[in-house]
């Protein structure tokens, strides 16, 4: 009798030990899974900046330049009625990652300001580009540029007669016009990229304003970063087409001597993907967490803690397991039974 009790105690103790072991394993797996995020660093597939000043300037391509430019205005070389803002456009090709991003950070290296005006504190915002565009190879080396590729006016330009303007080419643009400059007309109709916005007349285009991220220009040169997680998640889910993103000064201004009598330029330069120093090129860091449920379940089985009736090893006992049982009902593969079906 005592032997039976001892045996029973040992069996119960053994079962309890297994249960405790499995719980410890599960806890460790859950902790590991919670911290098991992975990151990839992407480099741009294409980048460019689009520049507005005079008809010829707004058709110039800079896709092969080693720098990218964001500018609010330039009082040199443009008349009162010619705003000279610049925006950068950049695109990253996302790999076929099974899991959605939990964080996505865009990084650009700010290395120089324009003219004598320090852009510190300016707000640079991210917009979603709606249509495809061509990078181009222009560098404007020696002040000689090319019009092939994307520009302020065109998203594609493959030569004479093969220009494809931005869809915003003939729409009122986004600027808040200073009081001593004429209103929404003339130079306000020149493209500058396709993205959802509200124009200076208060009219919404493609759904109205969408600002996906903002960052302040720092006092010192160095990396600027934007949290573009929501936009990357939208690309991954197929909610939006990935045509890249556009960065602009949130308060682009027409140059006006009555507002800025002693200032000439206001903007920031960033290194592009063509820059010789690879460590300073733009990047998109995407962080994601693999499917924690699937990873945990696999580990449970690897540690021998699976449920015996979980026939498909998905850590659930349900009708899928019953279907497997029904499909194999009364089958056998015993080599010593001549009536059994040989399945190996």
Phi, psi of 110 (to 5 degrees): -85, 115
Residue 189's pLDDT band (cuts 50, 70, 90): very low
Residue-level pLDDT at 43: 96
pLDDT tens digits, residue range 48-88? 999 886 556 678 889 999 999 998 875 554 444 455 788 99
Q: Tell me the C-alpha distance between 196 and 209, whole Å.
A: 5
Q: What share of the chain is helix, strand, coil (3-state, %, to 5)?
A: 25, 25, 50
Cα-to-chain-centroid distance, residue 78: 35
Residue 341 falls inside a structural domain:
no
By percentage, how much of the chain surpasses pLDDT 90?
32
Residue-level pLDDT at 180: 32
Phi, psi of 71 (to 5 degrees): -140, 140
Residue 56 falls inside a structural domain:
yes
Residue 188 falls inside a structural domain:
yes
Number of domains in the chain: 1
Residue-level pLDDT at 235: 92
Whether pLDDT at 227 is above 80: yes
Residue-level pLDDT at 48: 96
Residue 232 falls inside a structural domain:
yes
pLDDT, mean of residues 24-52: 71
Q: Which domain holds residue 218?
A: 41-288
Whether pLDDT at 269 is above 70: yes
Quote the mean pLDDT of the chain. 76
Residue 289's pLDDT band (cuts 50, 70, 90): confident
Q: 3-class DSSP state for residue 102? A: strand
Residue 241 falls inside a structural domain:
yes
Residue 176 falls inside a structural domain:
yes
Residue-level pLDDT at 133: 96
């Amino acid at each position: 009798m005592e032997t039976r009790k001892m045996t029973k105690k040992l069996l119960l103790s053994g079962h309890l030990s297994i249960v405790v072991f499995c719980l410890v394993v599960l806890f460790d797996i859950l902790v590991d899974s919670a911290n098991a995020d992975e990151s990839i660093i992407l480099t741009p597939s294409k980048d460019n900046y689009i520049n507005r000043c005079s008809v010829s300037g707004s058709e110039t391509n800079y896709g092969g330049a080693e720098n990218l430019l964001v500018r609010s205005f330039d009082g040199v070389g443009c008349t009162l009625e010619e705003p000279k803002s610049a925006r950068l456009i950049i695109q990253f090709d996302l790999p076929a990652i099974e899991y959605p991003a939990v964080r996505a950070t865009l990084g650009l290296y700010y290395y120089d300001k324009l003219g004598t005006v320090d852009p510190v504190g300016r707000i640079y915002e991210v917009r979603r580009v709606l249509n495809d565009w061509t990078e181009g190879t222009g560098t404007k080396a020696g002040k000689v540029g090319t019009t092939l590729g994307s520009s302020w006016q065109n998203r594609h330009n493959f030569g004479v007669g093969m220009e494809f303007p931005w869809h915003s080419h003939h729409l009122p643009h986004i600027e808040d016009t200073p009081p001593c400059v004429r209103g929404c007309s003339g130079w306000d109709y020149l493209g500058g990229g396709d993205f959802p916005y509200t124009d200076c007349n208060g009219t919404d285009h493609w759904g109205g304003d969408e600002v996906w991220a903002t960052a302040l220009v720092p006092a010192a040169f160095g990396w600027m970063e934007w949290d573009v997680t929501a936009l990357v998640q939208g690309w991954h889910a197929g909610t939006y087409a990935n045509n890249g993103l556009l960065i602009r000064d949130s308060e682009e201004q027409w140059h006006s001597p009555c507002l800025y009598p002693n200032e000439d330029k206001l903007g920031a330069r960033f290194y592009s993907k063509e820059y010789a120093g690879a460590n300073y090129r733009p990047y998109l860091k995407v962080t994601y967490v693999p499917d924690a449920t699937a990873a945990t379940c696999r580990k449970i089985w690897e540690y021998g803690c699976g449920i015996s009736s979980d026939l498909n090893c998905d850590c659930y006992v349900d009708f899928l397991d019953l279907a497997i049982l029904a499909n194999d009902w009364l089958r056998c593969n015993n080599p010593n039974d001549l009536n059994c079906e040989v399945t190996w």
